Structure 1
């Protein structure tokens, strides 16, 4: 079984040792702290005030993390850009929790974060002022030719005037109404696509009539009060804009040389994250007057490590540690850790996408891996595509330092390159071109490939039914093993023999033997369902109903024809692309043709790999898992560091006198 064996650990120690122990457990990164029900331990000496203090501390760390992330997000766009390849090649620096604390002691995290948040606020204020000044500049630029104050118009005795705008019109109707009126003297200040800016002068005695004319022309009075001439104000605004630009430039230049501060911010985030996780875990502990109790799950093989870690930081008489086996009642609670070899582990991604197994189930990963390899290769089948995937993943794995999750995904696709190449050789295709040797032609042997697809499907269904029978026997359900597993294997075995006898070997004896096996297996299913039920009559009926599921099995078998369909369609599309390129004149094939070849096959590779990935998973989830697998387990959620910016050293290095 590829599910790691787990142990339940209970740790009791003094309050003053709590932080040390939590830090030591966090450094191990494999211990999941569980919420210990206080009701199991009787009346406890913990006040609501202490809980409130702990929750306030958690909120404080959450706020500090949020501020640190804001500061980091603000700084990073202003730093010199690194190439993606260089970033991928750089490995995360390894630090222990103690070393992380030592690094933090070299600077003030609070002052560092405040510095960048202040800079961010300063830039925001500059940008807000710039936005306001740009609007003001646009307004003043329009009126820069106005060489008097509009308020002065009211001081004249016999003549007065107005300053304002009239909207644009297709035939310039509004502005012409003003210019053609004998009572008005119109001076046009500016014109744009929306309006005309004008100054008007007229006799005070005509003021009432002028008002009517202005209304008819949709004249809008200028309400702005200028402190000086618009041209002078414009220059002042432009000078201020230039000054703000220089301030921004100075800030950007300062930020551009703060690569070291970026690293300090990363360390700060890691530091606060580590503290936050430890404080959150305290909510799961039970506190008495002098002692606290912690409970959690740990892999059996890691138990010696935690014992050694505890001994290295506190005296043995300062704590008590009990290690218990997992009880049947805990099967639904215990977290699941999948433990597979290097060749199977990458396929744990497929299992996790569906659902992790429960602790008492089997890990389906070793069983699905060979089927997924065959199915993916059959659907993506092309030697050229496989070679490209092989080289790309191999180079990436050798050159780049991925995080563990990405590393596993890259290994997953690297493994998939092998069946893609193998099936490409069998189909005789290389980037859609036919190889000199072809074992199965995607154009001439479609029926053979179809039969092969169905055969693979039947084999996988048989395998799933066998696993179902194995699990039922494991649970001491012999009747279930027969009715849900062995019986159906017998039915399908009989049907296969029957078809071979009738359609291929023309053997009546073989056909009769197959029919007898199929019918006998069906009868056995009915008997097993009856014997396994408390209500025999109901069990007898359920046995017949169970046989009705044969229609579902037929649908499952038909579903495997997609292995043929996708493999043939991918090869046909690649062949069609090559034919298109073949129509290009010879001189163009080595220029435009090369670019077209790369573009078209890149599209086909993407679609082919995506289809093979999705449909391969679909066959596993529905047709295979549907026969035996339930899932519903939960992943281990250990107390650990975030490891977003650093790699935590896998060793105990915690001071006996205290921790961070």
Structure 2
């Protein structure tokens, strides 16, 4: 239960083995490559990889990856959809990179991607045509009463007919004036909220006067681009639409049967992602005419695995592997890998949310986990809520196919269900109803719960100070350990003895002893601060200022009262919800009352879960980590695959 020990690896091999070696490293998913291109810049025989060419190749394969993703997204829109529960229960396929390539070698990938791409373009074109037909149909539907081709009657000898629109106004001014004009005859074709569609007939001898009149009344000539009258064109559109819809239906039915093509796209996505990751990795290497060099970070426990990977792909006389321990000047560069058992590892997310520890720090996860369990349970504290959390997470973990991170998160909340149930039993609360046995009542024992909250807080603060002292002793800073850790622990112990001897178990001797211990802690801080400084007087002043930090510790201890406040408030809200339902008439209680019970308690569970999660983390980050923990470590970023659709088979269990 600590930070995994790391090694720095240097691998030298032949150029013609580079691709095979990188693929093997990728299958291990544990080695983070170090960019050494600048390190060997001054070595004449060595040269950095051709970055321009590799950048181009990387973009090319990333483009393939994105294209395959888009094709898969398109295809999935037409494939039969799995039921959600079936989908969650179906595990992902597990293959090696080599097995993926072998499966792809059996199919014509270009034909498959080309067919799906063409289907996508055809459907887009059909949509465009259908949209265009719909627009034409809307236009023609307005003018379907027309029995002639608009504005094409110029060959008539005496009469001219113009077709167009005039705006509709509140008083219908324009259309009324037109109808009253003796020089023209108006035939109304359609009327909408915005305009009138009309035919205007007039004597050709009056054309100039009529045209001026029409312009004054905002008449707009109809631009009719169709070959036949609207009625015939509408029938044509209907025929064309039916034909296109039939073709679309055939194409969609073809897409529905492309489950094999879906699998091929998943293979292509995984292999394309793996390929451009390996190309990017090549930019971190250094080449010689016949050889290449790579360096990376790897967990010490997996060094034998990488030897096994290499020996499977190339003979041992074709590579040289140098394994070094981490040097002091490399500590800041080493990635951090947390290595905890299955009960502690789910709490690594809390540590990572704050910041991973540096390689030379301690992993705070084993120390925060017990406190987070207790704090979360105290704040949620209901047997019913805990049972729901337990059942929901247990079913999901047992029966559903989950990725590693989601499974880890669910395990985190599953573990939290146990203290929730335990504290629910202690508080005697089951969905807000009081159990027959109540050890601590959230109504009557608030002061006791408050005292418990403070006690847990003091214990956690003392642990934080103890860890601080340990780290300083480890780094040979004895005086710092006394002034920043041991001295404060002694003060707290003395004050605890004094409080117990004065208020709980009255005893003059113990009270005096407590005072003496606390004063001894103060003296230790002042002396250690003075000895640590070159200027003793200034050091004494620093010690006094350090003692002023007691006010901060008071604030820290007060922060833990939220454990009581949130636990009591959640129980009170649950009780209030139950009282609301009890006010309903008997018949309503077993109908709408059940629905209200589920709805209201669902809201309370959600809010209580959120509060417990956030405030528990806040106590860890501020009150606990603030005493000893810095963080600032960086996670391991190994050369790996996406595992979005296919899990990578790993046969190495170092």
How far residue 584 of structure 1 moved from its aligned partner, in angstroms, is: 1.2
| Paired residues for 1:14-413 under 5 Å | 14-40=14-40, 42-45=42-45, 50-413=50-413
Checking the alignment, whether the CA contact within 8 Å between 2:151 and 2:162 is kept in structure 1 is no
Deviates more, 1:179-188 or 1:130-139: 179-188
Match of 1:482 in 2: 482
Indicate whether 1:610 and 2:610 are aligned.
yes
Q: How has the CA–CA distance of structure 1 residues 534 and 245 changed in structure 2, closer, same or farther, with 3 Å as cutoff? A: farther
Indicate whether 1:460 and 2:463 are aligned.
no
How far residue 625 of structure 1 moved from its aligned partner, in angstroms, is: 0.6
How far residue 349 of structure 1 moved from its aligned partner, in angstroms, is: 0.9
How far residue 509 of structure 1 moved from its aligned partner, in angstroms, is: 4.1
Deviates more, 1:209-218 or 1:99-108: 209-218
Checking the alignment, whether the CA contact within 8 Å between 1:379 and 1:566 is kept in structure 2 is yes
Q: How has the CA–CA distance of structure 1 residues 274 and 226 changed in structure 2, closer, same or farther, with 3 Å as cutoff? A: closer
| SS of 1:321 mapped into structure 2 | strand
| Paired residues for 1:456-605 under 5 Å | 456-605=456-605
Checking the alignment, whether the CA contact within 8 Å between 2:380 and 2:608 is kept in structure 1 is yes
Q: How has the CA–CA distance of structure 1 residues 109 and 225 changed in structure 2, closer, same or farther, with 3 Å as cutoff? A: closer
How far residue 22 of structure 1 moved from its aligned partner, in angstroms, is: 1.2
How far residue 651 of structure 1 moved from its aligned partner, in angstroms, is: 1.9
The TM-score normalised by the length of structure 2 is 0.96
Checking the alignment, whether the CA contact within 8 Å between 2:464 and 2:624 is kept in structure 1 is yes
* 2-structure distance, mates of 1:12, 1:354: 38
Match of 2:417 in 1: 417
* 2-structure distance, mates of 1:520, 1:619: 29
How far residue 35 of structure 1 moved from its aligned partner, in angstroms, is: 0.8
Match of 1:10 in 2: 10
* 1-structure distance, mates of 2:49, 2:368: 52
Checking the alignment, whether the CA contact within 8 Å between 1:354 and 1:621 is kept in structure 2 is yes
Checking the alignment, whether the CA contact within 8 Å between 2:37 and 2:47 is kept in structure 1 is no
Checking the alignment, whether the CA contact within 8 Å between 1:160 and 1:202 is kept in structure 2 is yes
| SS of 1:617 mapped into structure 2 | helix
* 1-structure distance, mates of 2:110, 2:611: 50
How far residue 592 of structure 1 moved from its aligned partner, in angstroms, is: 1.1
| SS of 1:239 mapped into structure 2 | helix
Deviates more, 1:62-71 or 1:230-239: 230-239
* 2-structure distance, mates of 1:267, 1:202: 73
Deviates more, 1:17-26 or 1:410-419: 17-26
* 2-structure distance, mates of 1:125, 1:118: 10
| SS of 1:332 mapped into structure 2 | helix
Checking the alignment, whether the CA contact within 8 Å between 1:44 and 1:289 is kept in structure 2 is no
Checking the alignment, whether the CA contact within 8 Å between 2:38 and 2:48 is kept in structure 1 is no
Deviates more, 1:72-81 or 1:119-128: 119-128
How far residue 276 of structure 1 moved from its aligned partner, in angstroms, is: 1.5
* 2-structure distance, mates of 1:620, 1:49: 46
* 1-structure distance, mates of 2:212, 2:586: 79
Checking the alignment, whether the CA contact within 8 Å between 1:27 and 1:652 is kept in structure 2 is no
Checking the alignment, whether the CA contact within 8 Å between 2:41 and 2:47 is kept in structure 1 is no
Match of 2:427 in 1: 427
Match of 1:656 in 2: none
* 2-structure distance, mates of 1:89, 1:469: 49
1:161-180 deviations in Å (ceiling 9; x for gaps):
32111222334333223223
Q: How has the CA–CA distance of structure 1 residues 45 and 652 changed in structure 2, closer, same or farther, with 3 Å as cutoff? A: farther
1:400-459 deviations in Å (ceiling 9; x for gaps):
121111111111111000000000000000001011111111111111111111111111
How far residue 44 of structure 1 moved from its aligned partner, in angstroms, is: 4.5
How far residue 150 of structure 1 moved from its aligned partner, in angstroms, is: 2.7
The TM-score normalised by the length of structure 1 is 0.95
Q: How has the CA–CA distance of structure 1 residues 545 and 56 changed in structure 2, closer, same or farther, with 3 Å as cutoff? A: same
Q: How has the CA–CA distance of structure 1 residues 49 and 153 changed in structure 2, closer, same or farther, with 3 Å as cutoff? A: farther
Root-mean-square deviation (CA, aligned residues, Å) is 1.9
* 2-structure distance, mates of 1:446, 1:23: 62
Instruction: Report the number of matched residues.
Output: 653
Checking the alignment, whether the CA contact within 8 Å between 1:380 and 1:567 is kept in structure 2 is yes
* 1-structure distance, mates of 2:233, 2:46: 68
Checking the alignment, whether the CA contact within 8 Å between 1:3 and 1:362 is kept in structure 2 is yes
How far residue 99 of structure 1 moved from its aligned partner, in angstroms, is: 1.0
Deviates more, 1:205-214 or 1:381-390: 205-214
| SS of 2:69 mapped into structure 1 | helix
Checking the alignment, whether the CA contact within 8 Å between 1:96 and 1:651 is kept in structure 2 is no
* 2-structure distance, mates of 1:210, 1:502: 111
Deviates more, 1:625-634 or 1:503-512: 503-512
Q: How has the CA–CA distance of structure 1 residues 644 and 152 changed in structure 2, closer, same or farther, with 3 Å as cutoff? A: closer
* 2-structure distance, mates of 1:532, 1:41: 45
Deviates more, 1:33-42 or 1:352-361: 33-42
How far residue 212 of structure 1 moved from its aligned partner, in angstroms, is: 4.8
| SS of 2:2 mapped into structure 1 | coil
Q: How has the CA–CA distance of structure 1 residues 116 and 44 changed in structure 2, closer, same or farther, with 3 Å as cutoff? A: farther
* 1-structure distance, mates of 2:48, 2:209: 80
Q: How has the CA–CA distance of structure 1 residues 242 and 545 changed in structure 2, closer, same or farther, with 3 Å as cutoff? A: same
Checking the alignment, whether the CA contact within 8 Å between 2:641 and 2:648 is kept in structure 1 is yes
How far residue 38 of structure 1 moved from its aligned partner, in angstroms, is: 4.1
* 1-structure distance, mates of 2:569, 2:506: 34
| SS of 1:170 mapped into structure 2 | coil
How far residue 213 of structure 1 moved from its aligned partner, in angstroms, is: 4.0
